[in-house]
Structure 1
Amino acid sequence: MANPYQAAPPPFPPPPQPPARRSNGGVAGFLAVALVIAGIYGASQWLGNDDGKPKGSASATASPSAKPSAKPSDPGNPESSSDTSSAWKVGDCGGPDPDNKPDGYRPQKCSASGATFKAIDIKEASILPGSIQCPPGTDLMIEVSISYGSGKTSGIPTNTVCGRNLSDDHPGDAGAGGGQLVKGDCVTDQAQEVACATAGSYKVLGLVKTKSECPSGTTEPMELTMAIGRPYDVICADK
């Protein structure tokens, strides 16, 4: 994607002028011709060189907490898609991007052999960790960003895809021990999410801002360290 704000190249600088010689008018004429040729050459080089212009591309990267159940993608499958558009929609599918390992993902048709998840919600991007809350059942969160140039550096976040595995492995289900913390999950006494089958775990009855908002039946309200962007500060839990 060409940058609409790309500045034009500076004018070709003329070389230093030698002292004028009254006895030789040919030197001035030669220098004028040389300047014209050099200017034409510089303009042709600028117009014909696209390497310096930023090219827009979109990349999708899973958040560090995402642990998708993914099978290898099949770039040769005709059902696969190499589209890297950031315009994800609910119901779209995706899978691992072999050109952007290990955390890269790309859109794919849901019938493709490389498709591993389906988007169940699309959220706007945020620079605040924890401020994006995907719906229950989200198995992985994928940050979609636009990058410029050929380097594989982090780009500008555009949105977040809340994905659910196409397989039967759903760590984001309540009580399964993965995904974002939701009502019905379980935690340790240190407020770390674990599967509810774990001995000694506490059941999450609610996620609220203050202890007074906890529902009845709460026996272990856990106050968390304040975090900017997180929608709750207290885990209402019961042994």
Structure 2
Amino acid sequence: MATHGTTPPPPPGQRRGGCLSSLLVLAVILGLAYGASTYFDDKDSSPSASPSSGGDKTSSWNVGDCGGPDPDDAPDGYRAVDCGDSGATFKALAVMEASILPDAIQCPAGTDLIIQVKISFGSGGDKSGGIPSKTVCGRNLKGDHPGDAGAGGGQLVKGDCVTGTAQEVPCAQAAGSGYKVLGLVKDAKECPSGTTEPMRLTLAIGRPYDVICAAKA
């Protein structure tokens, strides 16, 4: 069974006693805090949602709520809007807890867009920052649905298609050279009958599966 995207682990760090050990611990804590801050402020890592006009919607997203692009936070910002509003472009299929580990969020099948909702404090007006509070799994109200099984977008789900290097592609392009996803499991022994190509993935903390159970498309 091939392993896809495997990278060698970094060499173990060396620890010393006394004050140096305390300094190393402090450095690690500061490093983690900086990394978390960078993650929270990186708009390119995932779209963000901001409060709608007239109230703070970030803490009260529910299944069935709608949202659309936020003109004050273009091009990746979104805001909650009424489903009858002309600016509504998606509806929430699920509302989940936020996570600093992107792979730990597994939205339901049919999710076209995954938006991280953030709560900002103060009146600085910088919508690129904030603390992640919720994850909204959205489905487009109109147009294509890249999150549907086999469509080639969204998160990988059963029924999607992948290349020999485990990259998702539309099933319409996979005939003869690609593979159909039969299941997503932690261990290859759990793959369903019909699996001919169990693809073991590089370890990712929080991801609910480590193996793609696949067969020729």
- Separation in 2, partners of 1:216, 1:115: 42
1:175 to 150, 173, 188: 150
Q: Which runs of 5+ in 2 are unaligned?
A: 1-41
**Residue 124 in 1 paired to residue 115 in 2?**
no
Structure 2 residue 206 is the aligned partner of structure 1 residue 236:
no
Shift of 1:128: 1.1
Question: Residue 75 of structure 1 aligns with which residue?
Answer: none
- The whole-number CA distance in structure 2 between the counterparts of 1:180 and 1:127 is 17
- Asked whether 1:188 is paired with 2:163, we answer yes
Does the CA contact (< 8 Å) of 1:83 and 1:107 recur in 2?
A: no
Contact 2:46–2:116 (CA under 8 A) maintained in structure 1: no
More RCO (CA 8 Å, sep 6+): 2
Tell me the secondary structure at the aligned position of residue 184 of structure 2: strand
Q: CA deviation at 1:85?
A: 1.8
Aligned to 1:205: 182
Query: Does the residue aligned with 1:212 lie in a helix, a strand or coil?
Result: helix
1:206 is aligned with what amino acid? G
Q: Which runs of 4+ in 1 moved over 3 A?
A: 61-66, 80-84
Q: State whether residues 95 and 137 of structure 2, in contact with CA within 8 Å, keep that contact through their aligned partners in structure 1.
A: yes
After superposition, the C-alpha distances for 1:131-187 in whole angstroms (9 at most, x for unaligned) are 011100000001001112315242110000000000031000000000000000000
Letter in 1 for 2:118: S
**Retained in 2: the 8 A contact 1:93–1:109?**
yes
Residue 93 (str. 1) matches residue 66 (str. 2): yes
| TM-align CA RMSD | 1.9
- Shift in CA distance, 208/63, structure 1 to aligned 2, threshold 3 Å: farther
**Alpha-carbon distance change, 162 to 155 in structure 1, aligned in 2, over 3 angstroms:** same
For residues 205-238 of structure 1, the C-alpha deviation after alignment (integer angstroms, 9 at most, x for no partner) is 0000111100000000000011000000000000
Unaligned stretches of 5+ in structure 1?
A: 1-60, 67-79
Q: Is the 8 A contact 1:84 1:106 kept in 2?
A: no
The structure number with the bigger radius of gyration is: 1
CA apart distance, 1:64: 4.5
| Preserved contact between residue 46 and residue 115 of structure 2 (Cα < 8 Å) | no
SS of residue in 2 equivalent to 1:197: helix
Match of 1:134 in 2: 107
**Identical pairs, percent:** 70
Is the Cα contact below 8 Å between 1:62 and 1:105 reproduced in 2?
no
Which structure: greater helix fraction?
2
Q: What is the TM-score when the length of structure 1 is the normalising length?
A: 0.66
